[in-house]
Amino acid sequence: MTVPKLALTENTESALAKTRADVVVIGTLQGEDGPVLAAGAAVADAAFDGKLAGVLATLGASGKAEEVVKLPTLGKLSAGVVLAVGLGKAGKDGSVTAEQVRRAAGAAGRALAGTEKAVVTLSAIDLQASVEGTALGAYAFTEYRSEPGDAPVAKVDFTSPEDGAARDHKATLKAATAIAEAVIIARDLINTPPNDLFPASFADRAKKLAEANGLEFEVLDEKALKRKGFGGILGVGGGSARQPRLLRLAYKPAKAGAKKVALVGKGITFDSGGISIKPAAGMDHMTSDMSGAAGVLASVVLAAKLKYPLEVVAHIPLAENLPSGTSYRPGDVLSMYGGKTVEVLNTDAEGRLVLADAIVRAGEENPDYLIETSTLTGAQVVALGNRTAGVMGSDEFRDRVAAAAQATGEGGWAMPLPEELRAELDSRLADLANITGQRWGGMLAAGVFLREFVPEGLAWAHVDIAGPSFNTGGPWGYTPKGGTGVPVRTIAAVLADIAANG
């Protein structure tokens, strides 16, 4: 799916009268005595003689977060419907956060399904959040449905903030649209079923995106992986007839000497657990075990579209973890890329094995920063729930990435890497084992394992998105059921921060 056609318009009575639209979207705040109209709603309110809030209250509106109330305009506006969406409570100073706007716009985007054109006034509060929220809320993955239902809204005009900075508004619209498109690239990949998305087909899709966006592209097949010694990727992918791959995609800016950022994303296109097989219940969700790879692919494409003054290089290990006569086994010892050996105690702890190979490969190019992400552990969900990613790594950069995750609304929390856990990974046969002998601190132990493969002194962060990458419940805000596209917006924010501040 692509985003709706997005444009800017003025928020004036004459502009709204000239703009032919089906729906005008306004924001409401949750006041003590009922809904309060948010910034941007004045023109619509004037059409109702200043009584729009009272009419909405009569219809049961309160302004609570993500509440949607529709009201026919009866000819008072050129649009036939006013859609009022709740922002929730304002801060003590009357302010509204970007995430409140983003979620409200997302709820509106979903409610606009079947609409040809809408005008959104939430942009008077925050243009970027309004664009991102509307585009992502309108998302629907219907490729495999014989009857897809109502199409997402086709066109959306956003009213320009009244600060006169028209050039800045156009740049904001362009950036927000590109970010939403990148998230949608990731969502579409995650939602594609594993019979159609496997290592080779993922590589084909990545190649097309690379060619369309001027990226360097390289793929190593199983023969090249064996020749070069990528024992982790080969071990995990050896049980499937659909053999593993390792992708490298690179964006290089026109100006030489830019900072280099390496991205690594786990691409297990389906995870049965291998010989250490998972329970049947919920195994269908393991189609999302390549969410890290999808996010990293989308992020390097975004870097090219927005022309970040950075060199961004993505390394994406792809494998399908299945049980068969050629599967790796508990008790095997794998020789990893770079020479370290790992004793396999559980074949369902496979993500760290493919990541380790890719991390070492990424380190060979001497990046200034490394961001890697994956659906690493179920322990992340136990510790932080389904909406908050765990961020581990070198302290300063870890905190920087976690702060970006929180600022974008994707959510992230800095987690430690306790030194005592390293001893739990000692192996009787190899340099280290792939799991500890006890259940506690599973996310942290996985992070400690990965740290063994990160070059000394490299600013590094791992984002564990086991919960946030795939929504098994109902949609909320701008988050649909299924693939979410987390952490594309976090990576985008970190890249922008590095571009601005080094």
Spans of all domains in the chain: 5-161, 184-501
Alpha helices in 124-165 (DSSP H): 127-137
Cβ contact 124:162 at 8 Å? yes
Contacts of 137 (CB under 8 A, 6+ apart): 105, 106, 107, 108, 109, 110, 477, 478
Examine the pLDDT at 141 and tell me if it is beyond 80: yes
DSSP percent split of the chain into helix, strand, coil, nearest 5 = 35, 20, 40
Among 266, 352, 361, 398, which one carries the catalytic annotation?
Answer: 352
Reference 259, options 308, 192, 197, 209; nearest CA is 308
Whether 352 is catalytic = yes
Q: Radius of gyration of the chain from Cα atoms? A: 24
Whether the ω angle into residue 487 lies within 30 degrees of 0, i.e. cis, is yes
Alpha helices in 39-97 (DSSP H): 42-47, 52-58
* pLDDT value, residue 112: 98
Alpha helices in 192-286 (DSSP H): 199-212, 222-228, 231-237
Can you tell me whether residue 20 is helix, strand or coil? coil
Q: Which option is the CATH number for 184-501: 1.10.3470.10, 3.10.450.630, 3.40.309.10, 3.40.630.10?
A: 3.40.630.10
Considering the entire predicted model, what is its pTM?
0.97
C-alpha distances in Å from residue 412, one per residue of 135, 262, 401:
23, 20, 8
Reference 3, options 184, 208, 206, 145; nearest CA is 184
List residues bridging with 247 in a β-sheet. Answer: 219, 316
* pLDDT value, residue 17: 66
pLDDT band at 73 (very low <50, low <70, confident <90, very high): very high
Interstrand relation of 245-251 and 311-321 (parallel, antiparallel or unpaired): antiparallel
Examine the pLDDT at 11 and tell me if it is beyond 80: no
Reference 294, options 321, 274, 278, 317; nearest CA is 317
DSSP class of residue 65? T
| Cα–Cα dist 206/228, whole Å | 22
Reference 108, options 116, 99, 96, 120; nearest CA is 120
Interstrand relation of 68-72 and 81-86 (parallel, antiparallel or unpaired): antiparallel
Q: Which CATH architecture has domain 5-161?
A: 3-Layer(aba) Sandwich (3.40)
* pLDDT value, residue 183: 98
Taking residues 340-345, what's their average pLDDT?
98
Can you tell me whether residue 148 is helix, strand or coil? coil
pLDDT band at 148 (very low <50, low <70, confident <90, very high): confident
Burial of 15 (0-12, 13-18, 19+ CB in 10 A): middle
| Cα–Cα dist 487/187, whole Å | 11
Taking residues 333-352, what's their average pLDDT?
98
Examine the pLDDT at 164 and tell me if it is beyond 70: no
> How many CA atoms does the CB half-sphere of 362 hold within 13 Å?
36
Reference 85, options 132, 136, 32, 40; nearest CA is 40
Whether 110 is catalytic = no
Taking residues 268-282, what's their average pLDDT?
97
pLDDT band at 167 (very low <50, low <70, confident <90, very high): confident
Examine the pLDDT at 376 and tell me if it is beyond 90: yes
Contacts of 28 (CB under 8 A, 6+ apart): 35, 36, 37, 38, 41, 53, 56, 61, 63, 67, 69, 84, 85, 86, 87
pLDDT band at 37 (very low <50, low <70, confident <90, very high): very high
Examine the pLDDT at 172 and tell me if it is beyond 70: yes
Taking residues 94-106, what's their average pLDDT?
97
Among 226, 278, 340, 481, which one carries the catalytic annotation?
Answer: 278
Can you tell me whether residue 103 is helix, strand or coil? helix
Can you tell me whether residue 36 is helix, strand or coil? strand
